Homo-oligomer: A and B are copies of this chain.
Amino acid sequence: MRKEKVYISQETVKRLSLYLRNLRRLEKEGVRVICSDRISELLDVSPAQFRKDLSYFGEFGKRGVGYEIRRLIEELEDILGVNKQWKIVLIGVGRLGSALLRFEGFSKFNLKIELAFDIDKRKIGKVINGVKIEDVQRLTERVKEEGVKVGLISTPPQVAQEIADRLIEGGIKGIMNFAPVTLKIPEDVFITNVDMACELERVIFFLNNEGKVKTDSKLLS
């Protein structure tokens, strides 16, 4: 039974994506059906959490049996929207940017970067992984032209805000930002920050507070 109005938390969405990836792997390994207990062993998620995450979107399992993997993969692809083709643009083809352009973790899962932009004349015109690098001057118009909806920002932090503004002007509705700055964006645009320095500092915090800290919800004495 589909719910009237449900708030889906970001944590739930992250987990859905995690489920999908692991279900695909299981299917490849020949598994046909799986129960929430088994999922729980594989991922770091309680069985109840798994069932509840799915329950926001419908009933996909069979009581006493489990979940048919093929069916669940399709449902999750549908929920996340990864079965549709979303045009993705990358801005900033530096070392991180070119790694992203060729990242198998994207391409393997139907996430293909289709346009790339840089300011460096020496890079413009080059082709990386089938994508021709274009002049960032033309960013807004090209984004409009191609109807791109998702942008990855891997520029230096100083220019990230300007790039974001231009992307949004071009009609971008979702941004994944690798630049270590907090971008100002309108309410109707979604942003996720991949902040590697913060993540690494989080690891260091744990080490630095060792003994004073409990493993999951950190206890400080």
Chain A residues close to B by CB (< 8 Å)? 3-10, 13-14, 16-18, 20-22, 42-44, 56, 79-82, 84, 86, 88, 94-96, 98-100, 102-103, 105-106, 109, 111, 149-150, 152, 173-176, 180, 182, 187-188, 190, 192, 194-210, 213-215, 217-221
Contacts and interface: CB of A to CB of B under 8 A. Distances in A.
A128 to B, nearest CB: 10
Given A175-B203, A198-B14, A9 B217 contact: yes
6 contacts: A8-B217, A13-B205, A95-B99, A150-B204, A173-B206, A175-B203
A137 to B, nearest CB: 24
Given A7-B214, A10-B218, A220-B8, A205 B106 contact: no
Contacts of A199: 176, 192, 194
Given A213-B8, A217-B9, A220-B8, A82 B195 contact: no
A218 B13 contact: yes
A174 B18 contact: no
A180 to B, nearest CB: 5
Most chain B C-beta atoms within 10 Å of own C-beta, residue among A84, A96, A103, A105: A105
A195 B42 CA distance: 17
A13 B209 CA distance: 11
A220 B150 contact: no
B198 A18 contact: yes
Contacts of A56: 220
Most chain B C-beta atoms within 10 Å of own C-beta, residue among A3, A4, A84, A200: A200
A217 to B, nearest CB: 5
Contacts of A190: 203, 206-207, 215
A8 B218 contact: yes
Contacts of A201: 13, 16-17, 20, 80, 82, 109, 111
Contacts of A100: 196
Given A16-B205, A173-B207, 6 more contacts: A3-B220, A14-B198, A95-B102, A109-B201, A150-B203, A152-B200
